[in-house]
Structure 1
């Protein structure tokens, strides 16, 4: 997606020279003189884009992955105007596009607007326009995809520079649920005053599941005994190594103890739902026996406890301390967990100018760095 192409006509030769021969399909929005213009290009063997719609400042199209069972979704590329009156019309344009594009929706580009104080590095702010933009995002329930490693995407190239977060990627809730493993980052600005954005929707590299201490463990019978036993089961002359080994032994014991005493909460909830569904269906055909009726009641009681436990786990993962039990469902917590996971994920580290992305290489480089610092 390219914004502000400043091109009255876009020829296939220009697209091929700029992006390569694999980008064999494209649509574009004409520039007004030397202002504006949008280009959307794609590889037809990887993705199918249909039903393009053009407005004054946007291009929208339906995106489908060939040979996949994924749900089609809408993509909108914007290039926002700079005049305040035109910006008001542009915000209404976004509302109208949403009405015409039901379902999962991703909207990205240069909005030429901000909605938070931290989106600019000085106090020269148009708060009225910020409020209008923020109101549109709230009304359309749009979520901003977290930009890893950067705060601003545009610079006026002066000294000292004015830095602003003008380029962003927003999505609807249902799009976010379909693409839970995304990564958005900036590329080098090179000849432009804008930093290009790269959104990667491919799955994250698989990694070994790390240990999670569950808050509800402390309320279960046998927790103090398990911790005390596992902590004193390991000894070492070196105090630092002894501490690490004891922590590792305690983590292993707590994980196996939790699997035996509690088990997988989600699996148990799914099994309970299936059993209750079968009992409900049987109850429509005949009277349940006393044993069946007793078991159905026990499953319902067990389900309530498991559902409460699942909310506790989700709340701990989400780190939403301001909400109490009953204030929100687990969907909110799981979305927050997904956001925190994407935000905290380390996709690579730079060592001597080289970027390492393999987890084992990153770990080795990190330990080598610490060893050199320590001594």
Structure 2
């Protein structure tokens, strides 16, 4: 995975060792609201980060590893871990794919104790690392002929002083949808968040039949009054219907994903005990495809929530809803209104537009202009206070355009529309660190 593809994110930070083809590669990412990175060290097979926990100031170290396969390279990994232990004495957690087991019971076909196993146990003792019990299953990898070889290659290990600082910690094996490895997780708390306002979820757009459903709702509402009132009222009605549909039909994203994972888990458990017949292999494949569907929807959900696009575009974010053509008509109108016919502002001589250009600015909005500006919007951008994203308007344009264009026409003629359609949030973003004054230290978005 290319680390650059992660972007920056508003609260995301990361360190990585790039993979060599399909092998190797370590990624450590964290929420900057919870952890502050103090130092980091990169090795050939591991990467270590020293963190300070924001909530209580505790300093600790995490090392992510990807174990090599040869004896020589494995010794390099053990040396890297020893160097980290010698460099930092803080509480320490080490996790990853070590590519070696610790005891005979960690593989399905128990054989003799190998030199690699003895060396792994010796390193753990020398570094005073504790192997946390694994819940949810005995093995973390399977492969070989008909997927009958099972082993525990992945684990978290911690120092005694790490357990002193972090209590009620558990290590669990999660369900495996795709990889030959089971993901494992070490848990011990999280961030509490309050209730969220309505937000149109772009992942809904991937649901079969969703567009027809929106069309029937929109066209089934009959509203009288001014164009802006009709548009605002229909949006309010769609919002209420979506809340009910999301709760009663679409369901909870996490619950649906976990239900699909349980099916994947079931077939993995059966396969660990015996080979699967053709029909069972087909059902296992269907379970993985169902899980992949929910993961894709979840990916869309989190991409929409992220502020990555907002951070990348900076000041340009405020103009994201306008096309160049729209700007060429609307922006000069504001300039001319402020400058007057002389084309002077605070002693500056500015170019003036011709009377023909000025007349063009007064023409009614066309469907092509509105549609072009709409399609230039990024559908994942944060929505306005009404909760509807740009993707909603792009997706539904064919049956919402009548009300939208009527609102633009009404605005052109009356020079006003319903206040709720023009509500916005103003946020001051610091331009420099340590900003304390409002006047010159922020920019509005």
TM-score by length of 1: 0.48
TM-score by length of 2: 0.41
Of structures 1 and 2, the one with the larger relative CO (CA 8 A, separation 6+) is 2
Larger Rg: 2
